[in-house]
A and B are shown apart, each in its own frame.
Chain A
Amino acid sequence: MKKTILLPAAALAAALFVSGCASTIEYGDPTSAKPLSTDFGSSDLQQIATSMVDSMLATAPLPADGRRPVLIVDPVKNKTMQHIDTESITDSIRTRLIRSGRFTFQDRTTEASLQQELAYQQQAAANPVQFGQQVAAEYMLTANLSEIEQKFGRVTDVYYKFTLNLRNLRTGTLDWADEKEIRKTKVRPIF
Chain B
Amino acid sequence: MARGAVALSAALVLCGCGTYSNYPAGMNQTVLGPMGAGGDLHAVQADLASRMEGRDEVLFAQEAGRTAQLYGDYAASRTAFEKAIARTAAQGDEGVFAAKVAAQQAAAVLVNDKAIEYRAPEYEQALVHHYQALNYLGARDLDGAGVEIRRANRVQEEARKRHEAEIDKASAKSRKEDAAADPLADAPDSTRAAVAKAYAGLDEVAGRTKTSFQNAATFFLSSVVWEMRGERNDAYIDVKKALELAPAHPGLQASALRLGKRLGMREDVEELVRRFPGAAATPPDGDGAYDGKARLVVMLEEGHVAQKQSLGIPFPVSGGLGAIDIPFYSATASPASNWRVGLDVAGRPEGSLAPLCRVSSLAARALSERMPGILARQIARAIAKGVAVQAANKNGGDAAVILVSLWNIASEQADLRSWLTLPDTILSADAWVAPGAAVPIRLRWAGGGNLELPVTLEAGKTTLLYVTRADWSFYSHAFVQP
Contacts and interface: CB of A to CB of B under 8 A. Distances in A.
A75 B43 CA distance: 40
Given A81-B154, A149-B154, A151-B158, A188 B95 contact: yes
B146 A78 contact: yes
Contacts of B92: 188
Contacts of A191: 95-99
B93 A78 contact: no
A16 interface: no
A79 B146 contact: yes
Nearest to A78: B143
Given A81-B150, A81-B151, A86 B96 contact: no
Interface residues of B, number: 16
Nearest to A77: B143
Q: Tell me the dominant secondary structure on chain B's binding face.
A: helix
A191 B97 CA distance: 5
Contacts of B98: 189, 191
B147 interface: yes
Nearest to B150: A81
B144 interface: yes
A81 B147 contact: yes
Contacts of B154: 81, 149
Given A78-B143, A78-B146, A83-B144, A188 B151 contact: no
Nearest to B151: A81
Interface residues of A, number: 16
Contacts of A67: none
B100 to A, nearest CB: 11
A188 B96 contact: yes
A154 B146 CA distance: 27
Nearest to B102: A191
B93 A188 contact: yes
B198 to A, nearest CB: 33
B150 A190 contact: no
22 contacts: A77-B143, A78-B143, A78-B146, A81-B150, A81-B151, A82-B147, A83-B147, A86-B143, A151-B158, A154-B96, A186-B93, A188-B93, A188-B94, A188-B95, A189-B94, A189-B95, A189-B98, A190-B95, A190-B96, A190-B97, A191-B95, A191-B99
Contacts of A106: none
A173 to B, nearest CB: 23
A91 B96 CA distance: 41
A80 interface: yes
Contacts of A78: 143, 146-147
Interface string B60-98: 000000000000000000000000000000001111111
